[in-house]
Amino acid sequence: MHAIVIHGGAGTISRASLSQQQETAYRVVLERIVRQAHDILVQGGTSLDAVTTAVIELENNPLFNAGHGAVFNAGGQHELDAAVMNGATLEAGCVAGLKRAKNPILVARSVMEKTRHVMLAGEGADTFAEAQGLSMVSPDYFHTENRRHAFERVQAQLRANESRAAISDEDKHGTVGAVALDAAGNLAAATSTGGHTNKMEGRIGDSPIIGAGTYADNETCAVSCTGDGEYFIRIAAAHDVASRMRYLSESIHDAALHVVTKTIPDLGGTGGLIAIDRHGNIAMPFNTTGMYRAAIDVAGDLSIGIYRN
């Protein structure tokens, strides 16, 4: 029994905001990546390898706000965050503020597997990645025209209004993630992000924080979040889903739905999450107009979604 779910971020995503060509591009990419990761599970691979592979592919695709395609911070740079967690052992690895490592999720996994630490940040994390022989790139590798235009628009608003610019959902969201259950009954979760456009230099959101944006425990579930990171951090959103299952005996669906449609919005936050429990049940709630998502369940059935309905 195995299953996998991936996401490419939640936000103001409507049929009016995407052309047919854009929608098709997202659907093609989501299907390709979820099938590629699912093949690993079919061939007896681990949930950890499946989520890592999925997130690498999402990081490499400029459609999403992670890796190549990450947003610009207030200093006109990219600072990348990622986390991975093994539900079988509760081991985890996280990185924040990367600027030169091509695939942050691989650095996070190396932290988990090759150090006694859980999180590395900044230049030390990049130096560690290089020492591990991971692919390093020039910071401009992460540039894309769409993200630059978004950054320039926000900066122009700031200059014109001399106050805080309005950051759209499109500019804030786009985090990627994956959760999986393998044939051995092990769960894993992985998340990667560029943050949000014009974020303060050094800002860290929920994605690389275990229990906030990423969590996995074989006894309950695996979770990857996307949205307004500050709110997800404040309620330890990913862990809260697992806690509701553990202590209230809620289903994965009810626990995830409560966190996303009650707890987060009560604080003023928006976003969504993907989750899978130890039986292969899947939840993909969000409180925005859309969330890029795809799943292959325990029956082998594929589902792809962008909009609410």
Selected catalytic residue, list 46, 52, 175, 220: 175
DSSP secondary structure string, 57-88? Answer: HHHT-TTSSSSTTPPP-TTS---EEEEEEETT
Q: How far apart are the first and last CA of the chain?
A: 28
Please enumerate, as own/partner, the contacts of 119-126 that have beta carbons within 8 Å and a separation of 24 or more: 119/93, 119/94, 119/95, 119/208, 120/94, 120/95, 120/96, 121/95, 121/96, 121/97, 121/204, 122/96, 122/97, 123/99, 125/95, 125/96, 125/97, 125/98, 125/101, 126/98, 126/99, 126/100, 126/101
Residue tagged 């949000």 (tokens): 196
Backbone angles phi, psi at 61, to 5 degrees: -100, 125
The three state secondary structure string of 167-189 is CCHHHHCCCEEEEEECCCCCEEE
Is the alpha carbon torsion for 64, 153, 16, 287 positive or negative? Answer: positive
Question: At CA 168, angle to CA 19 and CA 230, rounded to 5?
Answer: 130
Backbone angles phi, psi at 262, to 5 degrees: -125, -65
Tokens of 271: 């976003």
Q: Check if 220 is active-site.
A: no
247: Cβ–Cβ under 8 A, 6 or more apart, which residues? Answer: none
Catalytic residue list: 175
